[in-house]
Structures are given as structure tokens and as C-alpha cells.
Amino acid sequence: MATPLEILKQKQSEAIERLAAKVSDSTIKVNVGMATCEIAAGSRNVMAVFRDAIDSGEIEGVVLSQKGCAGRCYLEPTVEIFIPGKTPYKYGKVDAERAKEIIQRHLKNGEVIQEWLI
């Protein structure tokens, strides 16, 4: 019989596989939380940073989307990064400056910013 931790790890693995299948093409997806609570926390500025980077050609092959409430108001604004074949990541407490760092370090250089992950 599997332990609760083994069951949890299996479910986590299955969830990651499902997410990876959703982004199986070569497109990088960035989701910015845009629920009312996230907008109040400043997510419009975060969305604008990502939109400007895409529009200017600073980052290519990226689809920018909005996402709804995740129920973690204390961590807002949040940003999810989906890169095909890689683990999805979610950053918390993202402001415009952090968004610029995420673009430079994670999207352009492949460096996951561990201390901002949730």
C-alpha cells in the first residue's frame, strides 16, 4: 500500500504531465493573474511589462494570457510560466521590477528565480 507522500508525489507527477501536454507545442505561455484582487495588487503593471517585452521583440514565441483568482491574495500578483518540456513555475508578489527580472533571467536566460516561487 502506498504511503500518503507517495500518493501525493504520484498526483504531482500526473499534474505536471497534464500541464506539459497542454503546452506541448513550442510556444512559451505566460499567465498573469488578472482577477479583481490581483488588479488591486498591481497586476495591470505586471501585464504591461510582459506585453511591452513581447511587442518590442525583446522576447519571442511567448503567448501572454490572463488567469483568474487562485485564492492566494497574500501572494498577488502572480505569474505562471509554462515552457514546453519543462516544469511549470508560479511566481508570487510580482511587481513591474520583478516582471522585468523574470523576463531577463527566466525567459531569456533559463534561470528559475527560486526565492520568488510559490
- Quick: pLDDT tens for 51-83: 999 999 999 989 999 998 878 889 999 999 999
- Quick: pLDDT tens for 22-36: 554 668 999 999 999
99's grid cell: 516582471
- Give Cβ neighbours of residue 81 (< 8 Å, ≥ 6 apart): 28, 29, 30, 88, 89, 90, 91, 102, 106, 107
In the predicted model, is pLDDT for residue 91 greater than 70? yes
In the predicted model, is pLDDT for residue 46 greater than 90? yes
> CA dihedral in degrees (79, 57, 29, 73; nearest 10)?
10
pTM: 0.78
Q: What ranges do the domains of the chain cover?
A: 22-116
Q: What's the mean per-residue pLDDT of the chain?
A: 91
Percentage of the chain modeled with pLDDT above 70: 93
Name the helix (H) or strand (E) containing 32: strand 28-33
Q: Report whether 57 contacts 37 (CB < 8 A).
A: no
Query: Which CATH number is associated with domain 22-116?
Result: 3.40.30.10
